[in-house]
A and B are shown apart, each in its own frame.
Chain A
Amino acid sequence: MTMKRELDLAARPRATTDELNLAASWYIACPSRDLPARRPIALALFGRPLVAWRDEQRRPVLMPRHCPHMGASLADGAIVSGRLQCPFHHWRFAASGQCTAIPGIDRVPAMARQPVYPVVERYGYVWAWYGTAEPLFPLPEIPALEGDGRGFRFADTTAATVRRILENSYDPDHLAALHGLRVAGSLELTVLSDPRDARRNGPPIHDDAWFGAVLEWPSYAGALGAVTRWLRANARRFTLLVDGWPAGQRITYLADGRAQYTLLLAASPLAPNRTVQHICVAIPRSGAFWRDLAGYVFHRLQIQVASDQDLPIFNTIEPGDGNGIYVKRDLGVVKFREHYQAWVQKGTPVAG
């Protein structure tokens, strides 16, 4: 988190939950490497000022940024024996949020505590649960990201909402119009009804939270057709297997049934209409060095170009999550929006 982002968020009033339209879910609080072991960092997340730090076991902790005593920023504090110490009066907080020491005071008031967010660290990210005091489902697994594949990741701050970023995967028509995808035939989306149909993405996701679809298209035509033929990467049938929870997705890209890469798409909702889109990609190794390298370069370029085409749309899109005028090819987006909104309803905002 840069200082600049901190400053421009601090100037704004705290956002209400309604403005953010957030589903109860797992979100990325920050990439793991942004959270040092020995000092707390200020985070803006869910429209709230928060502080993240690591306890003695280096486990991440996420709590409201301001000390319940006199309101000083705990992000300016220090980590002392696995506790976060406020810079103002040296109150100390444990990873549970409980205040454990107040200089000169023997009995710490029971109400001297910070609510903490449920947190998990995985795939190189610190994940935070939002919406209820306890998570309603565990963070879904993405085995491909723990293999020995080559990988890369992007994080782009956008002016879109979480819902707009995630529904994009269920929108087949923008692939032709925005991304200029030309294929020899048609591009079809099928909304899945059984989590087991998405098992190539990983172990099934908790039933209620799960949503998935398959996008399929025949061989590439046009310029991409020429490039993929030359790379021998064209195929008779391409499949994008998308599944996920309301605020994140696992996506496997297959050519004639062979996995080409697995992509994680998730978000950090900073403030209304200010969301970081996180993309993390793992490309499996075949063992053939040059072939793997060519595949890596090709997929990286492809994903980066596509993401660079989406970002200007996200950065100028209509603020908020208004509904649109739908046509029948928008079925995937409409169904996902319904699913997402059902999980917005499940959230009972926790103190923060």
Chain B
Amino acid sequence: MIERWRRAQTSPAVPAEQRDLPASWYIALRSQELAFRPRPLQLFGRLLVAWRDRGGQAVVMPRHCPHMGASLALGKIVDGCIRCPFHHWRFDASGTCVEIPGIERIPVIARQSVYPVVERYGFVWVWYGSAAPLFPLPAFPALDVDRDRYMAYQFSDATPATVRQVLENAYDHHHFVTLHGVRAAQPLTLTMLSDQDAARDNGPPIAADAWSGAVLECPMLEPPAVLRALGMTPRRFRVLIDGWPAGQRFTFFVDDRVIARELLGVTPIGPGQTVQRGWAMIEKTGARWRDALFYLVYHVQHRAGTRQDLAIYRSASSEVPGVPVKYDRGVIKFREHYRRWVARAGAERDHRSDRSGADRKGAAE
């Protein structure tokens, strides 16, 4: 007897559904990660598949075929449809099953629900929380019309933090002093904005009820030694923050001049698994060497700051209700806003959870 023993190549871990996410736009993956082959994805604690149709449009749908449960990520794109490897059922970009070999009348229930998808800024964005998006993906002009005015880099950091922790960080001005060591002769202030017009420097307006914003001001900055050595002595520093429940736009001003912008999005893989990613855009002044040097300094301080945040996230508990003090007002306001959008996703979440059980009891044709 010749014997062969082999172990499975994959882990059978079944992710847990995420129950605390706001209805919003999220980053599914980078555009360049999705080519001609389907790709397995895990988002919102759900097993999904991403692929491109004939026109190159990205499609995101549940990973397993509704027929016998095979992974569509092992399938092929045939005539602009995704074809299951197991029995060659084919699904189009709308999720409708368009072919079953040997079967003329395709059951009406043979369909996959697709997620609303937009591809922009080098990312595939997916809408979570309702069948149709409740607001369009906010615009970030620095990455389209104004692209030439910036030196840019993309960042991507995995963290066990929740989406809320990643996003509320911007409204927590006090941690810039304590954690990131910002030195100033006067205290930093954070002012929550109530009028979106005050945030117009960040880009076109965001749907009113999805929007939240703030201004962080540091009137008497004591610049770090590295900047002073470069002959840069900024005094007034201001950050304009605004965004939707799962993403943010930032404009950084020094002495009222724009020095940089950032776009922050998140990829919620599952409970305890989040990726914060986006773009940093550093404004060119035209002086090439100075710009290059400033780009480098900006990059280094940005990454150092991120490392400090990530270290906190790694060991923080999101369970602790928190003891708020007066300078936490921004964080508390943001949490209220965030919670309202978590509630708006509730109905859809329950619907999808039911689907996995009830809907699968399809009868024979």
Residues of A participating in the B interface, judged by any CB pair closer than 8 Å = 5, 31, 124, 151-159, 164, 171, 173-174, 176-178, 271-274, 312-313, 315-320, 322-331, 333-334
Contact = CB atoms under 8 A, between A and B. Distances in A.
Nearest to A155: B5
A325 B73 contact: no
Nearest to A187: B102
B110 A153 contact: no
A325 B12 CA distance: 23
B69 A164 contact: yes
Nearest to B109: A325
A191 to B, nearest CB: 13
Interface string B327-365: 000000000000000000000000000001100111111
Q: Which of B5, B66, B360 has the most CB of A within 10 A?
A: B5
A330 B87 CA distance: 11
A271 B8 CA distance: 13
Nearest to B107: A325
A23 B2 CA distance: 30
B19 to A, nearest CB: 19
Given A153-B1, A318-B64, A177 B10 contact: no
A220 to B, nearest CB: 18
B69 to A, nearest CB: 3
Interface of B: 1-12, 14, 40, 47, 63-71, 73-74, 84-88, 100-103, 107, 109-110, 356-357, 360-365
Contacts of B361: 323
A159 B107 contact: no
B8 A315 contact: yes
Contact of B362 (A151, A177, A324): A324
Chain A: interface secondary structure? mixed
Contacts of A157: 6-8
B12 to A, nearest CB: 4
Contacts of B2: 152-153
A177 B86 contact: yes
A324 B67 contact: yes
B363 A317 contact: no
Contacts, number: 131
Contacts of B360: 322-325
A316 B356 contact: no
B362 A325 contact: yes
Contact of A315 (B4, B10, B84): B10
Given A159-B11, A325-B109, A327-B100, 6 more contacts: A159-B8, A315-B10, A326-B363, A326-B365, A327-B67, A329-B103
A319 B14 contact: yes
B1 A159 contact: no
Nearest to B106: A327
Given A177-B87, A326-B362, A327-B103, A316 B7 contact: no
B86 A328 contact: no
Nearest to A19: B14
A328 B365 contact: yes
Contact of A317 (B5, B7, B64): B64
A131 B295 CA distance: 67
A3 to B, nearest CB: 12
Contacts of B365: 326-328
B73 to A, nearest CB: 7
